[in-house]
Structure 1
Amino acid sequence: PYTRALMSAAPELRRHDGTDRERIILQGDPPSPIDPPTGCRFHTRCPMAQAICATTEPELIRVGDTHAARCHFATDNAAN
């Protein structure tokens, strides 16, 4: 979800097919880098967050041949 939000902020205004890209606006304030939250660092702003995200830091897992992610649900949403 964090990468999708970053990609939606890129300056390209139109998709290759000419349609407008949907801009993902994250809610809430970024967590403190000095005192980060427990669990997943992004869970306070993630639209997909569930209870496990607040308590358990996700492991780095491979998503495809050239990508990796730290998300409990990365393999569930890899195709999205």
Structure 2
Amino acid sequence: MACWPPGLHHIYNKLLKHRPGFAGKVTLNITIAPDGDVSKISVASSTTGYSEFDGEIKSAVSRWKFSKVKSGNTTVTIPFDFSE
């Protein structure tokens, strides 16, 4: 089993109850403000075929708090692979 932050693990397990064997990859573009808050987030790509799942992952990650930086926004692209 993959190791994701607890919030993402819960979302994936919830979907598995309705769609056994569900798997896919969601890649997010995340812009992090100097204070560590997510200021912008979008789905860069997805292989899940399930936009509601992608949206739940995006929503959960948008609430994450990252480390503070001295100045300027930081943009990262993070892939999340989901499979049993």
User: TM range, normalised to the smaller chain?
Assistant: under 0.3
> Which has the bigger relative contact order, CA under 8 A and spacing at least 6?
2
Pick the structure with more strand per residue: 2
**Given the two structures, how large is their TM-score scaled by the length of structure 2?**
0.25
Higher alpha-carbon Rg:
1
